[in-house]
């Protein structure tokens, strides 16, 4: 079981450098692309894409006007972005290298939707990663 996307498993984190194409632009990380995807305005997407770090991209994403129906599409958007990330051969090999281990996005910052904090959470990021890993095996 992998319970944290840090250290040798940092590559599983959305903050890990992995150029992702979206809307015809390249984003430096999945975090940048995901935060930009939720923005209703192009100027906000550009600011997020140009953010100097994934942490700043995440912070900027908290300030944007959300696109309509964002909550109903955020899982599918994340899945598409992760598919693009793990289409990168080196990252695909690392994901497949996790074998059949359960992937848990353990965190201490209270994210109980994408991860698990203090034993509580839905672990949606871990579930998507395991789904993509199974699809890559097929």
CB 45 within 8 A of CB 36: yes
CB 48 within 8 A of CB 58: no
CB 74 within 8 A of CB 38: yes
Q: What is the mean pLDDT of the chain?
A: 96
The pLDDT value given to residue 109 = 87
pLDDT digits (tens, 9 = 90+) for 14-31: 999 999 999 899 999 999
**pTM for this structure?**
0.94
pLDDT digits (tens, 9 = 90+) for 49-79: 999 999 999 999 999 999 999 999 999 999 9
> What share of the chain has pLDDT > 90, as a percent?
96
Return the domain boundaries, the chain.
7-137
Superfamily of domain 7-137: YbiA-like (1.10.357.40)
């Amino acid at each position: 079981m992998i319970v944290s996307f840090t250290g040798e498993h940092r590559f599983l984190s959305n903050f890990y450098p992995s150029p992702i194409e979206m809307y015809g632009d390249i984003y430096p990380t999945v975090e940048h692309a995901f935060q930009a995807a939720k923005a209703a305005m192009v100027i906000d997407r550009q600011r997020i894409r140009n953010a100097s770090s994934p942490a700043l991209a995440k912070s900027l994403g908290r300030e944007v006007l959300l696109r309509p129906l964002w909550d109903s599409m955020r899982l599918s958007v994340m899945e598409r972005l992760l598919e693009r990330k793990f289409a990168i051969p080196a990252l695909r090999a690392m994901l497949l290298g996790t074998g059949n281990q359960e992937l848990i996005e353990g965190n201490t910052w209270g994210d109980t939707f994408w991860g698990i904090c203090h034993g509580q959470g839905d672990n949606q990021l871990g579930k998507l990663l395991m789904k993509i890993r199974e699809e890559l095996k097929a």
